[in-house]
Every structure is written in C-alpha cells, then in structure tokens.
Structure 1
Amino acid sequence: MAKFFVVLTVSLMLHVDLVAAVEIKKKPIKIVTNNWTSQIVLSKVVGEVFSALGYQVQYLKTSVSDQWGALAHGVAHLQVEVWEGTMADMFNRMVAEGSVLDAGEHEAKTREDWWYPAYAEKVCPGLPDWQALKACANQFAIEGDNFGTYFAGPWEKPDEARIRALGLNFRVRNLKNGDDLWVELKKAYAEQRPIVLFNWTPNWVESRYAGKFVEFPAYDPVCESDPAWGVNGQYLYDCGNPKNGWLKKAAWHGMPDTWDCAYRTLKKINFSNQQIASAAALVDVDLLSYDAAAKQWLQENKVTWQGWIPGDCVN
C-alpha cells in the first residue's frame, strides 16, 4: 500500500509539473516593437523562434522612452535591439537597479553619423575626412544655395552645433519622417548627385548602397560638456558621434523564472550588422510586410536561428 501511495504521489507531482509547464506556455511573451524597421523585423524573427518552441507570443508597440517602464513592470518582457548611442543611460540604470536584465550583446556594432554615397568622393576629394567638407560644401548645395545641405531626420541631434563648432558651410534640412531620408538618397543616387545625410549602422542602406560615414574628430564625452576641449576652444560638439557602440537585448527580470527556455534562447540570439541590414532591406527595399520579411529571413538563415535554441529545449 505504501508503495502505491509513493507511485501515486510521484504521478501527481509529474502531472502538476506538466500542467504548470502547459500553463506557462499559454502565458504570452510580449515583445517590444519600436518605430524603425530593423527592430520590428528582428522582434518578429524572435517571436517566430519562440513560437517554434511552443510559446504564445504578442507584440507591444511602444516608444523608446515608454518601453522601460513596460519592461520593468512585466507589461512587456523583452526588447531585442537596444542601442548604446541612444539607450545606454536608461538601460544601464535599470540593469543596475535589477528591474531589467542584460540579456547579452549582439555581434553587430552600432554607429550613427553623417554619411555619403561613395561616388561623392569624386567631387569631394579628401573624404571621409571631415575637413574635405570645408573645401567642397558647394558640391552638396541644392536649389542654387551657397551652403551645402545636410539631410537630417526628425530626431533631436546637435548637428547645427557641430556645424558651428567645426566651421562647416552647411545648413541642416530636417525631414519630417525617417523614411524621407531614403527618398532623398534614392533621388540623389539615380542622378549620381552628391548628398550627405544622417545614417546609421546596422541599417538596410549598407546592404544596397556603397558609402561611408564622415570621419569627424573622435568622440569624447567631454566634447559635449567642456567648450575648451577639442579643435574649437569656444564651442561644444566639435567631434563626431561614438563608433563601435554595442547593441544589446533587454529582458523583464522575471523572464528566466517564467519562461526558462525562451530566456536561454534569447541570451544566445545574436545578429551581425549584415544580417540586420539584410532583414531590414526586405521591408524597406523589397517592400515585404514585417511578418513576411521575418519568415523569409528565418527561411534563409535556418542554421543560424536553430543554433540559438538550447538542445534541452527542443521537443
């Protein structure tokens, strides 16, 4: 009789564990989506991988500023594309507080700065050195302007301060939408007309257009706080933006205990610059939907994503 109760107890425990595992799989993992292409496609790729493991997945569209509260309180559970250049302060603070987990770094390195197509070097010799722009600003002029034009997106960047500090004969033209940058690039490229505009990596542009970032004086945080630092002793921002920034993944602090295999998979997920660029190009150039782009990327990169899944998580 005692043996019977032992067997019964073990069976009940196994049943409870199985039921609990099933219930956990039913609880949706909510993935943050922001407002740029690569982040959305990568989020969909990760969602498809989790779905292959049997998890339910939902997507939560939120701004960069609002995502941190959502992640800290478990309203959202992960963000797959955290940029050092624009998110490091909040990310590092919340990781230090323990409300968000650092789920690992991608192979990809980030950069955001002025960029030009390679053919511009024919009319502006000396590029990518920023001082070349002093001698050939007129090559980047539009509509008969005597000033060169730098095309910027709708984001707040210290471009005008940099132009003043470095003595560049340029004006900033802020575009209403980030996608308008690529409209301008496409028009200029078709005409082989020199253009300099805001760009970043990883981004789809590098998979379709040859070009380079302008090499400004090397970045140092003091450049933004002490006018006496740098090539201009009077003004701030006489430097470029940081190079080789990290790209990380963030997770809700409760994710490891709630979805063990999903979290361990997330930690192994790793994208290169080229992989991210090609994924974004499927939408921005080939005009696929985000979902279709994610599915195509997964189809073309089976060995890569299957290698992210720990062996003991495969059914």
Structure 2
Amino acid sequence: MKRLSLAVATLLATAPAFAEDSSDPIKLTLHDWSGQLITTTLMGEVLKKAGNNIEYVQADYIAQFAGLKTGDLHLAMELWETTAREAMDEAFATGNVVSFGETGMQAIEEWWYPAYMEERCPGLPDWQALNDCASEFATAETAPMGRYLGGPVTWGGFDDERVEALGMDFEVVHAGTDAALFAELEAAYQRQDPIVLWVYAPHWAPAKYDGKFVEFPAYSSECYNDPSVGINPDAAYDCGKPRGPIWKAGWVGLADKWPSAAKTIENFKITNEDMGAMVADVDLNGKSVDEVVAAWMTENKDTWSGWIAK
C-alpha cells in the first residue's frame, strides 16, 4: 500500500503550486450500511467546508471499482481489508485507481455468536467445535444443517466458499440488508435463540451484545489464492477472513483535478470508537446520518479543520 500512496504523493507534488480545484463535483460513493454512510457524509461535508462541490452516488460495494477506474466515480471512503482486498489489488494494478491511505479505523468482519451458545456448544470459539454442533444452529429451513446468517450478497466475504472448503455442515443464508442482519441478532438475543452470523467492527453490536468471533484457521493471501495452501489441499478460502485497516481509494485523476481536496482526503482519520458511537446514534437512537455527522463536526471542529489542506 505504501507504493500506492506514493503514487498519490507524486501527483500532488508535481501539481503546480497555484493549481485550484475544479468546480466540477467530486463524486463520492454511498453503500448500504450506516457506518459507510456516516464516513462518506463526513468526508463530503468537510470537503464542502473546504469549498469543493460534492455529489453522492449510490453504488455497489464491489461493482463501484468499475466506475473508479473510468473516472465516472471519484472516491470510495470505506474499503475494508476484510472484504475488498482482492478488488482493491486488481483495481490498483490497472493504474487507474490509487490509495488515499487509511481511514484510521481497523476492521474485523467474521462469524460471531452470542456468549450463551457456549453452554450449548462446548469448544467454541474454535470453528471445528462450531461445526461439531452445527445442528444446534439449525432452523426448520436448514435442518439438519446449521444456519449461518451472512451479510448482503454484495458485501462479498467468501462465506459460501469457506463453508465448502472447510466441509462445514452449515447453510449460508444472506440477509437482505444491514438493518435486517442486526434486527435478527436483536430478536435472537432477546429470546436466547441459537444464532451465528456476520458481525463487524467498528460497529455497536460487539459492544452491546456479549459474544465472540469464531476462530478459523488464520488468514493468508495464499489461502485465498492457492488451493494447495491450507487444511484443504483442493480448495481456496479454507481460512478466516483478513483483518486490518479500512482504506480510502479513488480515481487516479482526482489529485490532478482537485489537488487540495486530495490532500484533505489523505488527511482524514477517525477512530473505531468515534465511528461506533455515531453508528449507534443512527441505528439505536433513531438519529439521521446528517444529524449525527453535524453533531460530530460541531464537537470536533479542531479535528476536521486540521484535515483541510491549507
């Protein structure tokens, strides 16, 4: 990633000192979960404060890379190491998409279960123990197979491939939306019903609910790309998901067309704690994304003012 950030730095360094940002709108992508909407709206509002014209565009999480390559889209604010690594690497390799650095947030996305399931399934959080008691997680629709509630299909994550590669007695059922995913967790938790599902951080769920992430064989890029690596010599994805930073990335021409905005985007940093609190305000307290972003900006003016390129 360092060499990709250098590409942006080179573009910024070679831009004329007197260059002004274009008045054309910078197009930021919006997806389907609260945290990403908050991150993107926050970046957009700060860019507005810096004098830039902003346009928000609804886009699929993975399919957005096609628009970033062509310059029809300009900036993606939440690319998770856990699910977007392969798409990022492919896009960066074209030279048409570059990294604008880390957001400051650290990502975990993995199978998660409530703590009360440990009495019913001894050996958790080990994935093999989970598989040994798959029937404890079965529903009428999946029995005798266990049910794993995955995120929306557009999120990626390779859960179907993981189940097959590890020979797990689970059926993957994808939630339709982020809201549906956590509504089902809330209902199951209140009734103490069995559930194992996709949970991610930064998010309010791991703080609100007592539970743990399942421990799969450790992730490696070779596990994802070389079937001979891992416990199943005939299949890739026989390991857990990667963990790491949440990245910003955009069209390579952004730094030329909006040099000051590019510096502001690179300077953006926010913590898991701040983001988790804002997501909770939206998802649990019924506030709008705009309200939450405005409140954070009022309380943290010194922080975001420091991002704006001088």
- Matched position secondary structure for 1:27: coil
Return the offset for 1:55: 2.2
Distance 1:100 1:160 in 2: 28
Aligned counterparts, 1:140-151, within 5 A: 140-143=137-140, 145-151=143-149
CA contact (8 A) 1:133 1:168 kept: no
- Matched position secondary structure for 1:248: strand
| Deviations, residues 244-297 of structure 1 (Å, cap 9, x unaligned) | 233211133233333333211111111232333333223222222222222233
- Pair 1:289-2:288 in alignment: yes
Equivalent in 112, 126, 131 of residue 128 of structure 2: 131
Moved more, 187-196 or 149-158: 149-158
Report the equivalent of 2:211.
Answer: 211
Distance 1:93 1:237 in 2: 18
- Pair 1:43-2:43 in alignment: no
Q: 1:295 to 1:210 in 2, by over 3 A?
A: farther
Moved more, 63-72 or 269-278: 63-72
Return the offset for 1:226: 5.3
Return the offset for 1:215: 0.3
CA contact (8 A) 1:207 1:274 kept: no
Letter matched to residue 218 of structure 2:
A
Distance 1:114 1:213 in 2: 6
Report the equivalent of 1:11.
Answer: none
Letter matched to residue 151 of structure 1:
L
Q: 1:259 to 1:157 in 2, by over 3 A?
A: closer
CA contact (8 A) 2:199 2:206 kept: no
Distance 2:89 2:161 in 1: 27
CA contact (8 A) 2:230 2:238 kept: yes
Letter matched to residue 112 of structure 1:
E
TM-score where L is the length of structure 1: 0.79
Distance 1:56 1:190 in 2: 45
| Deviations, residues 41-75 of structure 1 (Å, cap 9, x unaligned) | 11110111112222222212222344334333433
Equivalent in 149, 152, 174 of residue 150 of structure 2: 152
Equivalent in 105, 110, 128 of residue 107 of structure 2: 110
- Matched position secondary structure for 1:105: strand
Runs of 4+ residues over 6 Å off in structure 1: none
| Deviations, residues 65-93 of structure 1 (Å, cap 9, x unaligned) | 44334333433322111223333334334
Return the offset for 1:25: 6.5
TM-score where L is the length of structure 2: 0.80
Letter matched to residue 103 of structure 2:
H
Letter matched to residue 198 of structure 1:
W
Return the offset for 1:143: 4.3
Q: 1:261 to 1:223 in 2, by over 3 A?
A: closer
Q: 1:254 to 1:129 in 2, by over 3 A?
A: same
Distance 2:157 2:266 in 1: 32
CA contact (8 A) 1:120 1:194 kept: yes
> Where in structure 2 are there 5+ consecutive unaligned residues?
1-16
Return the offset for 1:157: 5.3
Distance 1:258 1:227 in 2: 43
| Deviations, residues 137-159 of structure 1 (Å, cap 9, x unaligned) | 34323349444321123316544
RMSD: 3.0
Return the offset for 1:217: 1.2
Report the equivalent of 1:74.
Answer: 71
CA contact (8 A) 2:32 2:178 kept: no
Moved more, 164-173 or 174-183: 164-173
- Matched position secondary structure for 2:256: helix
Report the equivalent of 1:14.
Answer: none
Moved more, 78-87 or 203-212: 203-212
